[in-house]
Chain A
Amino acid sequence: MLFLSACTQLKEDKDDLKQRPIHSNTTTKRFSFTPSGQLSPASSGRGRFGDNFIYAPYIRFPIEHAPTYINSQVYGIGGMYGRAGNLCDRRNYQYPWHDNFCEKRGWGMPLCPSGTGHQGVDIRTATCAKKRYYAVAVESGRISYIGKYTVTLRGNSGRKYRYLHLDSNSLQVSRGQRVKRGQRIGLVSDNMGNTKTSIHLHFDMKQTIVIDGVPKQVYVPPYSSLVDAYIRLLKGRP
Chain B
Amino acid sequence: MQKILISLMVLIQMVNASGGVLPVEWPTKTNLQQKIEKSYPAELKKKIKKVELPVLLPKAYIFNQKMSIVAEKNYYAITIFFKGANLMVSGDRSYQLEMRDIDVKSQKMLKRVKQEFIRSEGMIVTDFSRYGVSYSMQLECDNFEEDKRCANDKFLRKLYRELVIVGGKR
Compute how far the CA of A13 lies from the CA of B8 in the bound complex, rounded to whole angstroms: 11
Compute how far the CA of A219 lies from the CA of B134 in the bound complex, rounded to whole angstroms: 13
* A51-B118 in contact given A207-B97, A208-B92, A210-B98 (Cβ < 8 Å): no
Instruction: Mark interface residues in A142-181 (1 if CB within 8 Å of B CB, else 0).
Output: 1111011110101001111010100000000001100000
Stretch of A26-34, A81-89, A102-110, A124-132 contacting B (4+ beta carbons < 8 Å): A102-110
Interface size on A, residues (CB 8 A): 61
Instruction: Mark interface residues in A187-212 (1 if CB within 8 Å of B CB, else 0).
Output: 00000111100000010001111111
Contact at A214–B129, with CB atoms within 8 Å? yes
Determine whether B43 belongs to the interface, using a CB cutoff of 8 Å to chain A: no
Residue of A nearest to B111 (CB): A211
Stretch of B12-20, B32-40, B161-169 contacting A (4+ beta carbons < 8 Å): B12-20
Contact at A216–B77, with CB atoms within 8 Å? no
- How many A-B residue contacts, CB cutoff 8 Å? 180
Determine whether B59 belongs to the interface, using a CB cutoff of 8 Å to chain A: no
Interface residues of A in 114-146 (CB under 8 A from B): 119-120, 142-145
Shortest CB distance B131–A (Å): 10
Compute how far the CA of A77 lies from the CA of B136 in the bound complex, rounded to whole angstroms: 35
**In the complex, chain B residues whose CB is within 8 Å of the CB of A143:** 70
Interface size on B, residues (CB 8 A): 65
**In the complex, chain A residues whose CB is within 8 Å of the CB of B10:** 54, 57-58, 228
* A144-B118 in contact given A53-B103, A210-B97 (Cβ < 8 Å): no
Contact at A158–B113, with CB atoms within 8 Å? no
Determine whether B112 belongs to the interface, using a CB cutoff of 8 Å to chain A: yes
**In the complex, chain A residues whose CB is within 8 Å of the CB of B6:** 13-14, 17, 228, 231
Binding site for B on A (CB under 8 A): 6-7, 9-10, 13-14, 16-17, 51, 53-55, 57-58, 106-111, 119-120, 142-145, 147-150, 152, 154, 157-160, 162, 164, 175-176, 192-195, 202, 206-212, 214-219, 228, 231, 235
- Chain A to chain B: the 6 pairs with minimum beta-carbon distance, closest first: A158-B94, A144-B77, A108-B118, A194-B143, A208-B95, A217-B127
